[in-house]
Amino acid sequence: MTSGPGRQTSPLHVAIVGSGPAAFYAAGQLLAEPGVSATIDMFERLPTPWGLVRSGVAPDHPRIKSVSRVFEQTAARPGFRFHGNVEIGIDVSAERLAAAYHAVIYAVGAAADRPLEVPGEHLPGSHPAAEFVGWYNGHPDHAERSFDLSHRRAVVIGNGNVALDVARMLAVAPKQLAVTDTADHALVALHESAIEEIVVLGRRGPAQAAFTAAELSELAACPDVDVVIHPADAAVDQPSGDGAGARANVELVQELALRPPTGARRRVVLRFLASPQAILGENRVDGLRIAHNRLVRSRSGALTAHETARTEDLETGLVLRSIGYRGTPIPGVPFDVARGTIANDGGRVRGVVGAYTAGWIKRGASGIIGTNKRCARETVAALLEDHAAGCLAQPSVDPAELLAALGETVDYDGWLAIDEHERARGRQQGRPRVKLVRRRDLLDRARRCNEGRSAA
C-alpha cells in the first residue's frame, strides 16, 4: 500500500533475512516508499550478498548478473545496513530477531535439492545439480567438492533451465569460460574434462519441457557443440495446453532434430519421455537405467509421464540431478513441508504477526530474477498495510544490542572490499572478477578493510 501524499507514518525498522533478488527488491521498495521512514538491517548467512545472482546464475550469463547494479543502488541508500556471515536460526533465533524489529522478511531462497527417490541416488558420482552449480560459481559451501569428469558421458536429469545451464557448462569450450567469473577450481577441472557427450533427460515430451526456447537456442549456438535430438524424440503425439512457450520449444526441438551433427568436440543429446529408474554401480556410478515413458492425461487434465516396460541402460560416470529446488525450514518459522516453502498467505507468514516472506522460499523455486520484483512488491504491500493499520508490535530489544552480540560479521564496506579485490584480480586476467571461494578468505579480506578503517 502506498501512503497518501504528505502522509507521515512512524519509523519502520525491518530485518530482511537473505540478500538475493527478492531480499534486495523488498529492501529497495521499502526504502523508496513515500511517507515511510524505513531502515533495513539485511542478514546474510554468507560473507557476500546477492544470493543466486552470485552463486546460481551461470557465469557465462553476465548480462543477467548485471542486475546487481540495481542492488548496489539500494545498498547505497540511507537506512540500509548489511550484516554478512550471520545465520538466522543458528547465530540469532527467529524469536530474538522478531523482538528487535517491527517486521522481519524472510527471503532466504530454496537451496535444497528435491529427492529423486530412485535406487543408487546417493552413490558417489551422483550429485544434485545445486552442488555442481554452487561449485562452478564458487559458493563457499561447494568450493571443496569434486566432480569426476574423467568419463566420456555425463547425464543430466531434468528438463528445466538449470539442466540446460549445467549441460552448457559441461559442453562449452574452456576458452569461452576463461573470460567469465567461473571459479578457478572449476575452470581447471572443466579444462581437463574428458566428457564428450552430455545426455539431458526429460521425463515428458518437448511440449512439456520446463526450459525456455531462449536457453535451448543459446545451447544450440555454442561453438563446437552439437545439440543432437533423435527425430522420434522430437515427435509430439499429444497436444499440450501449455501455450506459446511450449510451441516455441517444440518448433525449436523439431528444427534441431533435423540438423545433421557437425562432428563437434562435444554433443548434448536431448532425450524425451525417459525417466531415471535406477542409478547403477557398486561403489560409484557406472550407469543409469532409464524407463521409456508414455504420456497419460490425468483427471486434472495434466499430462503425466507413465513408465512403460521398455528400459535401457546408459553407461555414465556422472549423474547430475536437476529436478528442481526446495526450501529448508528455519527454526521458529512455520514451514509448509509439502511445498518446501515458509507457510504464508500472500507473503504474510501464517500465524506470526510481523513476519513476512518473499522469493523462492515464499512461492517455490520458479521464475526468473524479475519475478522476484513482483513477488517482493506483494509482500511489501502486506507489510506496509499492517504497519499503517497499527498491527505491528513495537520492538522490545534494541537492534544495537542484538548486533553487538554477533560474532564476526561483514558489513557493506567489508563486502565492497571483497568486491574490489575480486574485480582487481579479474582485470589482470580479462575477466569480470576472480572469486574468493573460501569463507575464511572472504572474512579475512573484509576484516582487513575494517582494520584499515579503524587505523585511519
Using CB under 6 A, list all residues that contact ligand NAP.
Answer: 116, 157-163, 165, 202-204, 208, 210, 215, 275, 322-325, 365-368
Nearer to ligand NAP, 105 or 274 (CB): 274
CB of residue 368 to ligand NAP, shortest distance in Å? 5
- Do 440 and 448 contact (CB within 8 A), yes or no? no
| Cell matching residue 24 | 534486495
CB neighbour list of residue 104: distance below 8 Å, 6 or more residues apart: 14, 15, 16, 17, 94, 97, 98, 354, 355, 356
Q: Which of 44, 135, 62, 116 is nearest to 437 (CA)?
A: 135
Nearer to ligand NAP, 138 or 160 (CB): 160
CB of residue 64 to ligand NAP, shortest distance in Å? 6
CB of residue 229 to ligand NAP, shortest distance in Å? 16
Helices (H), 33-67: 52-55, 62-65
Nearer to ligand NAP, 236 or 323 (CB): 323
Report d(CA 433, CA 16) in Å as an integer. Answer: 27
| Cell matching residue 423 | 574485480
| Cell matching residue 394 | 513495537
Q: Which of 248, 292, 249 is nearest to 274 (CA)?
A: 292
CB neighbour list of residue 373: distance below 8 Å, 6 or more residues apart: 21, 25
Element (H, E) at 451: helix 439-455
Residue sitting closest to ligand NAP (CB): 160
Q: Which of 102, 151, 103 is nearest to 125 (CA)?
A: 151
Query: Radius of gyration (Cα) for the chain, nearest Å?
Result: 23
Strands of 158-300 (E only): list them. Answer: 197-201, 225-228, 266-271, 274-280, 287-297
Nearer to ligand NAP, 209 or 437 (CB): 209
CB of residue 179 to ligand NAP, shortest distance in Å? 19
Nearer to ligand NAP, 297 or 440 (CB): 297
CB of residue 322 to ligand NAP, shortest distance in Å? 6
Nearer to ligand NAP, 137 or 193 (CB): 137
Nearer to ligand NAP, 262 or 366 (CB): 366
CB of residue 109 to ligand NAP, shortest distance in Å? 11
* Count, residues in the chain: 456
Report d(CA 290, CA 202) in Å as an integer. Answer: 11
CB of residue 165 to ligand NAP, shortest distance in Å? 5
User: 275: which strand partners?
Assistant: 291
Strands of 281-411 (E only): list them. Answer: 287-297, 303-315, 318-321, 325-326, 335-336, 341-342, 344-345, 348-349, 355-357
CB of residue 345 to ligand NAP, shortest distance in Å? 22
CB of residue 130 to ligand NAP, shortest distance in Å? 8
Nearer to ligand NAP, 13 or 326 (CB): 326
Nearer to ligand NAP, 3 or 371 (CB): 371
- Residue 432 has a CB neighbour count (10 Å cut-off) of 17
